[in-house]
Structure 1
């Protein structure tokens, strides 16, 4: 009963002890309390009760009862870090038990050995237990044994064997009322889905398991550990670190299992390293190593040592001793049959290369490269990365490029299993090293066209296909509606200076629900097989006499690829770090210029623009020709106001996340009918003063304002429109970019809402602050409002990269639409609109803050 209804079992056991039971019955009651405390409470209390249960079983002169208690006590001692005592108790239990009871003890010894990382010994014990349990028709314990065997198979990388055991166990669990065991089976299936590379299914199953545990009122430390692993693979390392640290706090608070604390520390160390916090990773990993060593858990200790070494390397440490230590870790992991062994070999090879130890590097990289043909996607990518480094060490540029291509193909296939645009974007971080190696090989080859191909190979790939959208998800729709209502109430309370803590807490809960639903979506598109064709790009550029400037970053320096007139030319510009610093100065200046009286800052901002041009375009600025220019910046430069640069100031200028995105936008056809939609949200300083003028200009446009500007109606009208103009307050959420929003009459319209459109407007103009702000994630990806629209059918967007003066926006927008009504493109109309503004600092800054994205 303790695993069917844990809290009820605890109460029943305490009731038995209150009734002056016999030694036999008292032994059972103390064992139940001990198991409850062992798995969900204080280990000291657990050990007290389990020892009492053992002593009472001896008084009852029941060898099988004593064997059963010894098994539970042995597991508790192992979890408490007293490994020798625990294994001794389990050994004594095997000796005392017979038949059916002995099989149950063998199962628990197998479990303890799995906890210790003794996987082969665990398989042997569970192999001996299962036939006896089946013969006795013991459904519950057979299902437990099959689940455990599957979990051990997963630890050894045998996913197919694990799947077979999980399937058999699930069929048995369906016939029982063991609710905690059922939740554990769902959790284990989540782990299996993750090991097979299905991250959305893993997240969905782990969330389902958490709901089941919550109904039982039991802590979920093993679930926390497994979810951290999945979150890290999904590119969500900061979230994994927060979850691990929170679980450690809870575990410490109840005096829980020492083994789980060590595993949580290891998860936290991995997450901190992936999140770029090397010092936190070192601290957590060092503590984990010491705990695992004290618990005599060699398998786990070796994994923790690998993370500790990785963190030290990330912190800038490198030495021959560290190479030797890493090689030793790789050898130990290989002896355990651990899937992490190639990762350690790759690290050893990478460090050996840096030290010039070519023979050692080749040996380690050869070992790592063996994983490139089998196993889960990330393991194969590790193998291809090792193969690319081997080729580079051998001086084979062709070998480097081929290995990088094969590795990125693996990641492409994996990425398309992800339905959420956020996960697709974050997954690209796994390919950053391969993309960088291929780009460097292309640069070394002296071919600008080849460098362009590889710059495009891993740039803005999340925008290549729309996110997966369920046909109709009433749960998601309900959550979005509730979120909107709560957010609107919170905004109203905030404006009236009323308490909003409860509302904010509910809003965060709904955000988590909405995000979870989207992360659970599996990709439904196999990919369009699109490969960037520079010839096709140059042909399209020639038709319009356009120059496309793609900025690639290698070793921290900007490489300018100037495309046009049938060729690709390369120029070297400045350091990316310097450009980022200068761009922040420009943003600060534009913020000041958005307020009257800051005219003195204009000269400073213009000087910063000249400096940015040298850093970002270098000599290429003198070779741009006279026609339109398309800028393709790296993600980290998304906030540069490109129209401020002197050589671009008077030009027809547009920005695109990639050359591929520009090509798709260029070839996107406008919808038939030419429907225009004008939206005016509440609370604007000017009241969206341009909208009535635009309604007059367009005549039959759909105008949504006041009570009509509600999210469901706005989405309905935007779907498939030829032109949309939205005047509304914009909010960028750096912490959760897909909740960046525009304020409507009934609350915020967020990126998740736009992702539900069948086709977003062909052209869309966002006349409010910060609508062109993005979060830079993955290898070179952007998450935000504008980038959500581009894969959904939008060919062109005008949006703002900085805070602007609302009053100064109105004449800019009117001039922009005048150009559009005369048949100009967005970029042409925006260029002319800037020129039509008054020449004062306020209006100039407003014009610079807006950019045209895409090609419409």
Structure 2
């Protein structure tokens, strides 16, 4: 963030023929419309010189110099501003000389000539009097800030603010308060920074200074982001964006700030799009002074995404841009970005000495967190190269930041401390450091109200957990392997999403989204153009998403963490067996818990899993396709399924047979196995098998009390599926007294009202899984989609849910081992058991399975047992029904 300076608030052209008025207009436009200011100034300069109006010449040259600064033409800016000083002297105007010198000082800062900038500023101040002198001191403080002399800037602002208020200089007082808030923020004096910005915003609103109010709002967002309060930060950025838009402006610095926050919670796709938009906006506005900052941010986002080519190219462009501007501190940061891109491309090519040199450069110019990251990188590279003494030196330096500062910095410092202790052979101390880092991340995660933000921010949590997991595997300690595996899994689901105190706006947006999507379907069916409707859908989805992201976690709502005693978590197993899979360094391992014994098993390479699973969805779909010849289905698809199922079974379950026997299974899969139809595996055929995102989530589900009597059953049939109504009617008959919602009665408001707190919900509808945003995955009802966002708004999620809708059991895996989607939303919201398919299924083919499943429930069988029996009871010759049944899994409490 850079101090807010002389940005104009009036964009109305002034077209008086008077040269002085035209000079004033050029100066006013110089910061926001530099190209137009240049054209006007050049048209005035000649006549002013010929008429000997040297005071006007000075003002015009000053306008041309400021415009050139905003066009990144620093040499031209210096030429014009020196000419402005000379013209002011010819006019005999100390005021003109002083103001030109203040602008010249700002240009010299950008040129990297800090000493000369200070001399010009000191020379300028005695030439100014009254209000002009007070304003100049605000600008002097901003220059001091740019030069890193925050103490001097703070003293200047403390002296000048009372004078500004006394003189009634409201606009300049607001600027001074905004600038001072940035100093407070840099010193982590957040309360003082917010007080200044709130005061500045109040002054702006009281005096209709709309542009400065937008800047104050934006800076409030930045302060909240520095405090780690992502929801509040996003609220302020939204408010600032609305103010800019009312003024007809696109402010690239706001895009940069928003992209940084999105990156901090690892919403990478949006962060990259926003960073790219900032780069484009700076280029379009020819504000090359700030373009390298956006290029550097784009490099960082691309690096985290794994796009090392874009990361390297953007970082190199940033280095060139900062060098042109002679911004030494920023050059150091961009060089670090280049180093990171090289590390991601080939770690063996990086010299730890070079990484340490970059860390020293960053620390010297005040970049504390990047310096910390570079120091950790130097230590890790040295460790990989066997240079233990060098590694110890760098990791020790990095670990000093673990006790104070931002959550992400402290967590990284704890990781450095853990690596240092591990290298020294202090394994217990290393594990303690990893646990301390996890607590830092968990405490930060608990402040986020949206499931999406909590899931994405857990990437650093996963990095810490993986090191603990790696050490537990080295020690061959199965209980610790289970403990560390759980620390990196499904943490976003352990706290319910925050509910807004007033739901009217969110409910209205969701209703508008449903009607818009219904219109899209009608328009497409009629062969019309849906372009405008799709644009409205995108807008509404953004509004819904942003409203949910800006929610803070409810007061006192802390995440449930895995208990220190693994025995307490696995106590409800009874005669079942738990199998939790982990993947470390490309190898798959399993922890089994059965009969009170906890065992660790090495299973082999993870490469075999995606190879075996690639063709499973296609083969199931082919078997379920009634148009395909039966013999062809059996010969082709059946053979593919048998080979894939046998390969996966040989890797995952057969080696565990001695431990798990024929017990009911509770399976915690790794990300690649989240969408596996487990009933296809020979070892799972006919066996009660429950799947869970984590053992902690499973424990939560099995210990969740059922709804109090009388228990309600709700059965829903969505539109557009010929078999849905028949299936719903069949299920409703099996549950006397149940509520059946079908046809036009199956609307989102009616369904959500009925299912809130229900004992059992059966929903037969068309499902739509969204990979771009899993929380907009939906099932289609009579009035439009029922999205995951609306499920999260339920006060009490239904206890047991059956979703006979395509793909609705398949989660989206993000940030390593976090899951989002229908199953995640229901489990996180309080549902104990979910039965749903993980691949597309034909709706009519599910009726036999659903009838058998609900008959099993009525007979008193647990859900997983009822599902396994229903799947085995189908005639294998009816490949359509068999394939549809195989797609279903039981998630949660089986």
Deviation for aligned residue 1:702: 0.5
Q: Which moved more, 1:149-158 or 1:209-218?
A: 149-158
1:135 paired to 2:171: no
Q: 1:90: Cα distance to partner?
A: 5.5
1:193–1:199 CA contact under 8 A, matched in 2: yes
Per the TM alignment, residue 301 of structure 1 is displaced from its structure 2 partner at its CA by: 1.3
Residues 77/34 of structure 1: CA separation in 2 closer, same or farther (3 Å cut): farther
The CA deviation at 1:135 is 2.4
Q: Tell me how far 1:476 sits from its aligned partner.
A: 0.6
**TM superposition shift of 1:63:** 2.5
The residue correspondences of 1:8-27 to structure 2 (distance < 5 A) are: 9-12=10-13, 14-15=14-15, 18-21=16-19, 23=20, 25-27=21-23
Q: Does 1:124 align with 2:134?
A: no
2:175 aligned partner: 144
Gaps of 5+ in 1: none
Asked if the contact 1:272–1:280 (Cα under 8 Å) also holds between the matched residues in 2, the reply is yes
Give the C-alpha shift of residue 449 in structure 1: 0.9
Match of 1:183 in 2: 214
Q: Quick check: 2:26–2:41 contact (8 Å CA) kept in 1?
A: no
1:111 is aligned, of 132, 142, 161, to 142
Report the CA distance shift for 1:516/1:185 in structure 2 as closer, same or farther (over 3 A). same
Q: Take 1:853 and 1:573, find their aligned partners in 2: how far apart are those partners?
A: 24
| Aligned with 1:513 (options 518, 525, 543) | 543
Contact 1:726 1:766 in 2 (8 A): yes
Other-structure match for 2:638: 602
- The 5-angstrom pairing of residues 584-733 of structure 1 reads 584-596=614-626, 597=628, 598-600=633-635, 601-617=637-653, 619-671=655-707, 672-733=709-770
Residue 562 of structure 2 is matched in structure 1 by: 531
Q: Does 2:367 align with 1:335?
A: no
Q: What SS does the aligned partner of 2:716 have? A: strand
Paired with 1:217 and 1:345, the residues of 2 have a C-alpha distance of: 44
> Does the 8 Å CA contact 2:447/2:553 hold for their aligned counterparts?
yes
Q: Secondary structure at the match of 1:259?
A: coil
Instruction: Say whether 1:211 aligns with 2:248.
Output: no
Structure 2 segments unaligned to the other structure (5+ residues): 43-58, 64-80
- Does the 8 A contact of 2:689 with 2:868 survive in 1? yes
Which of 224, 228, 243 is equivalent to 2:259? Answer: 228
Name the structure 2 match of 1:558.
588
**Cα shift at 1:801:** 0.6
- The structural deviation recorded for 1:842 is 2.7
Q: Separation in 2 of the partners of 1:240 and 1:84?
A: 38
| Separation in structure 2 between the aligned mates of residue 272 and residue 443 of structure 1, nearest angstrom | 32
Alpha-carbon deviation of 1:456?
A: 1.1
Contact kept, 8 Å, 1:797 with 1:854, in 2: the verdict is yes
How far the C-alpha of 1:683 sits from its partner, in A, is 0.2
Q: Residue 630 of structure 1: SS of its match in structure 2?
A: strand
Q: Which moves more between the two structures, 143-152 or 457-466?
A: 143-152
Q: Is contact 2:857–2:866 with CA below 8 Å preserved after alignment?
A: yes
Secondary structure at the counterpart of residue 749 of structure 1: strand
Distance, in Å, in 2 between the alignment partners of 1:546 and 1:194 is: 46
1:153-302 aligned at under 5 Å gives the runs 153-155=184-186, 157=188, 159=190, 162-163=193-194, 165-170=196-201, 172-173=203-204, 175-254=206-285, 256-302=286-332
Partner in structure 2 of residue 37 of structure 1? 33
Counterparts of 1:84 and 1:807, CA distance in 2: 80
Matched, 1:454 2:484: yes
1:616-645 superposed Cα distances (whole Å, 9 cap, x missing partner): 335114432122101101233211111111
Contact 1:103 1:129 in 2 (8 A): no
Q: Would you say the 8 A contact 2:593–2:599 is kept in 1?
A: yes
Pair 148,181 (structure 1): closer, same or farther in 2 beyond 3 Å = same
By how many angstroms is 1:143 displaced? Answer: 2.8
Aligned to 2:73: none
**What is the match of residue 851 of structure 1?**
889
Cα contact 1:183–1:209 (8 A) shared by 2: yes
Alignment of 1:380-419 (within 5 A): 380-419=410-449
TM-score, length basis structure 2: 0.89
Question: Does residue 326 in structure 1 map to residue 355 in structure 2?
Answer: yes
Whole-angstrom distance in 1 between the partners of 2:796 and 2:172: 53
Deviations 1:676-706 (A, max 9, x none): 1010000003243211122222221101111
**Partner secondary structure for residue 119 of structure 1:** coil
Cα distance in 2 for residues equivalent to 1:153 and 1:249: 31
Give the CA deviation at 1:57: 5.8
Secondary structure of 1:839 counterpart: coil
What residue in structure 1 maps to residue 72 of structure 2?
none
C-alpha distance 75-211 of structure 1, shift in aligned 2 (>3 A): farther
Contact preservation (8 Å) 2:343, 2:350:
no
For 1:36, what is the secondary structure of its paired residue?
A: coil
Does 2:61 correspond to 1:51?
Answer: yes
Question: Deviation of residue 775 (structure 1)?
Answer: 1.4
The answer on whether the counterparts of 1:550 and 1:560 sit within 8 Å (CA) in structure 2 is yes
Mark the CA change 1:592 to 1:573 in structure 2 (over 3 Å): closer, same or farther: same
| In structure 2, distance between residues paired with 1:744 and 1:128 | 63
Instruction: Indicate conservation of the 8 Å contact 2:675/2:838, yes or no.
Output: yes
- Distance in 1, matches of 2:673 and 2:521, equals 32
Over 3 Å counting, the alpha-carbon distance change for 1:566 and 1:612 in structure 2 is same
Call closer, same or farther: CA 1:582–1:51 in 2, change over 3 Å. Answer: farther
Mapped partners of 2:485, 2:421: distance in 1 = 20
What CA deviation, in whole Å up to 9, does each residue of 1:553-601 have, x standing for no partner? Answer: 1112111111111121111113223212322222222222221322221
Once the 2 structures are TM-superposed, how far is the Cα of residue 806 of structure 1 from its aligned partner? 2.2
Query: Aligned to 2:648, what secondary structure does the other structure show?
Result: helix
**What TM-score do you get using the length of structure 1 for normalisation?**
0.93
Distance between the aligned counterparts of 2:23 and 2:186, measured in 1? 35
Instruction: Give the distance between the partners of 2:654 and 2:115, measured in 1 at CA.
Output: 67
Contact 1:36 1:46 in 2 (8 A): no
What are the superposed Cα offsets for residues 696-752 of structure 1, whole Å, 9 maximum, x if unpaired? 222211011111100000000010111111000000000010000000000000000
Maintained 8 Å contact 1:130/1:142:
no
Change (3 A) 1:501 1:622: farther
**C-alpha distance in 2, partners of 1:87/1:605?**
76
- Counterpart in the other structure of 1:764: 801
